[in-house]
Amino acid sequence: MALDKPPGLVVDPNETTKEQTLADLLQNEFGIKLFRAGIVHRLDKDTSGVILVAKTEEALVNLQTQFKERLIKKEYLALAHGVIAENVKVEGSIGRNPGNREKFIVLPDGKQAVTEYEPVQNFQFSIFNFQSIFNDLNKIQMRKLERQRYNEFTLIKCLPKTGRTHQIRVHLKYINHPIVADEKYGGRKISRMDKRWCPRIFLHAAKIGFAHPETGKWTELESPLPEDLKKTLGLLSKK
């Protein structure tokens, strides 16, 4: 089955997770007793969107094999800082940050990772919204934001060709276009500014394509952009 995961829901339980997880719900509410409650792949806690769950051992093995052989096609939507004017392919091996084990970075000896990005639309704040959201800043602070070109954003399709942890986020940080409201990779100051108008990381699993485990028929499932992210885009104007 496929689920439309809301933001704020942890997929897998771990030592630091105290709240109910998606795995808990699948086991308790749906009676799925497979490994990891049939969850085939992960989404970060605050990432929303479509996620696949196997209900039988055969389906689990089949889908896991498709992921391992990179047959499954995933498409995410993200709002990134800055202007991305053309398609970009990022090839940068990813590993844990030696200085912070909770983060990942591009490393020469990391695991191979490839992500393609396609710009959908460039955005900027209207003057009214920009001044309204940051009305407590003085003129010097406002000019600093303008010099940093904080006012420019790009809605992009993210097409990961590999499945490394935080891959989309790490690669966008690597090319200096971090995702809006990404506390982990966007920088403390910038992400705090983002949180004034975007409630959580602007990253959504919009589409997944796979061969159906029983019929072999190519199947694509889509999840529309949720209301909180639609509302965020509504504060911006197309360029």
- Which residues are designated catalytic? 44
- Sign of dihedral through CA atoms 77, 195, 149, 236? positive
Q: Cα separation of 87 and 96, whole Å?
A: 27
Question: Which is nearest to 70 in space by CA: 211, 172, 195?
Answer: 211
* Secondary element (H or E) of residue 192: helix 188-194
Q: Rg of the Cα trace of the chain? A: 19
SS3 content of the chain, % helix, strand, coil (to 5): 25, 30, 45
**Cβ atoms of 138 and 200 closer than 8 Å:** no
β-partners of residue 91 are 114
Tell me the two tokens of residue 129: 């919204």
Q: From residue 228, how far is each of 48, 109, 168, 201 by CA, in Å?
A: 11, 38, 20, 11
CA 94 to chain centre: 16
